[in-house]
Amino acid sequence: MIPFGYRRAEDVDGAVATVSRNPNAVFLGGGTNLVDHLKLGVASPELLVDVTGLPLDRIEPLPDGGVRIGAGVRNSDLAADPIIRSRYPVLSQALLSGASGQLRNLATTGGNLLQRTRCGYFQDVSTPCNKRVPGSGCSAVDGYARYHAILGASQQCVAVHPSDMAVAMTALDAVALVQGPDGERRIPLVDFHRLPGDAPQRDTVLTHGELITAVDLPPLPAARRSRYRKVRDRASYAFALVSVAAVVDIGDATVRDARIALGGIAHKPWRATRAEEVLRGAPATEETFRRAAEAELATAQPLPDNAFKVPLARNTLVSVLRDLTQISEKDR
């Protein structure tokens, strides 16, 4: 680990100013990903600006009926929050399916959004990786790619985003509040993470020095019936092979509205707009669900090691939609 300075942020503006001034400064949250990268040599900042002491640790109702989640709220506190559990269960479920109890107690909301891929080549500094060293090549595209992308990848990068929380937030139409040197901006979660294209080193649309201060959830009554399902190589404490976050509004055996995001299959949480289009207004039947899933995955381009993710994603989505339909019927 190369030496670095450490500073505790006094306020948001000061933290943003400090990091903006120094191209080799980074924000430090819970550290569960960044400290690992310091050890691995994946990250080598010269200054850490600790933002965990800032007053960004509250979960507050918004006047429009939504909820504001401070960027410093710990993953465990967010998952256990009574409002989130009752009104946005998909978000609690996603959080609880990620990492472990002792990691969730450290990890923050902002840090979770900014965690980086767990692609083994990205984390191994002895191998080429365009995300870590732009232009050095992608080891995964011709290497071992069981865990990699089937949608939206490029020749430069086939890594996937590892977050569960962000997948649920993407389905919920959440909006990130970001403070930069020139003021605040609001970024819909669906636009927050990038596809790799020719610049896989950039995971998000943030510019250097911008700090996530909060995530807003819109009022979404249908989200009371929402679900997150994660499929992985072991029953717990593993990253997703495939995950599905879904909010579906069903009435009179018809899908009135649907919000769906997929995890583990792309460089960003994948909002399944094609599936949503098929679902909206269609009868809530297994046949519809299958058509919706197939529409979404029609453009999938799997690699030899991860072709299984196409049927796995399709079947997981169909099964989540089936479960949500049954819940809706029970409620009537």
Partner 1 sequence: MEAEITLRVDGARRSLSVDTRTTLLDALRERLGATAPKKGCDHGQCGSCTVLLDGRRATTCLALAVAHDGAEIITAEGLADGETLHPVQQAFLDQDALQCGYCTPGQICSAVGMLDEAKAGWPSAVTSDIAAPTVELDDEEIRERMSGNLCRCGAYVGIVAAVRQAVRQAGGGGSQ
CB of 198 to partner 1, least distance (A): 31
Helices (H), the chain: 12-21, 34-40, 75-80, 82-87, 89-96, 101-104, 109-114, 120-123, 165-171, 189-192, 273-279, 286-297, 309-331
C-beta of residue 161 within 8 angstroms of C-beta of residue 268: yes
Is 32 a residue that touches partner 1 (CB under 8 A)? yes
28/246 with CB nearer partner 1: 28
Q: Given 3-state DSSP classes, what are the helix, strand and coil percentages for the chain, each rounded to the nearest 5?
A: 35, 20, 45
CA atoms within 13 A on the CB side of 158: 24
183/234 with CB nearer partner 1: 234
List 185's β-bridge partners, or say none: 178
Helix or strand or coil: residue 103? Answer: helix
Figure out which of the listed residues 42, 70, 73, 93 binds partner 1, where binding follows CB under 8 A.
93
The residue with tokens 């989640």 is: 69
Is 101 a residue that touches partner 1 (CB under 8 A)? yes
Q: Which of residues 193-252 bind partner 1 (CB under 8 A)?
A: 235-237
Q: Which of residues 33-52 bind partner 1 (CB under 8 A)?
A: 35-36, 38-39, 48, 50, 52
Q: Site for partner 1 (CB under 8 A): how many residues?
A: 36
Residue type, 268: K
Figure out which of the listed residues 12, 103, 295, 312 binds partner 1, where binding follows CB under 8 A.
103
CB of 327 to partner 1, least distance (A): 12
49/310 with CB nearer partner 1: 49
100/299 with CB nearer partner 1: 100
Helix or strand or coil: residue 228? Answer: strand
CB of 76 to partner 1, least distance (A): 7
Q: Which stretch binds partner 1 (CB under 8 A): 19-27, 93-101, 205-213, 290-298?
A: 93-101
Is 1 a residue that touches partner 1 (CB under 8 A)? yes
CB of 93 to partner 1, least distance (A): 6
List 217's β-bridge partners, or say none: 67
CB of 50 to partner 1, least distance (A): 5
Q: How far apart are CA 209 and CA 27, in angstroms?
A: 8
CB of 113 to partner 1, least distance (A): 18
Q: Which of 257, 163, 267 is nearest to 218 (CA)?
A: 257
CB of 152 to partner 1, least distance (A): 27
Question: In this structure, what DSSP letter does residue 104 have?
Answer: H
Q: How far apart are CA 159 and CA 138, in angstroms?
A: 10
68/118 with CB nearer partner 1: 118
237/308 with CB nearer partner 1: 237
Is 82 a residue that touches partner 1 (CB under 8 A)? yes
53/65 with CB nearer partner 1: 53
Q: What are phi and psi of 170, to 5 degrees?
A: -65, -40
Order of strands, sheet of 226-231, starting from the edge strand that comes earlier in the sequence: 226-231, 242-251, 254-263, 270-271
Binding residues vs partner 1 (CB under 8 A) = 1, 3-6, 28, 31-32, 35-36, 38-39, 48, 50, 52, 76, 79-80, 82, 85-86, 89, 92-93, 96-97, 99-103, 105-106, 235-237
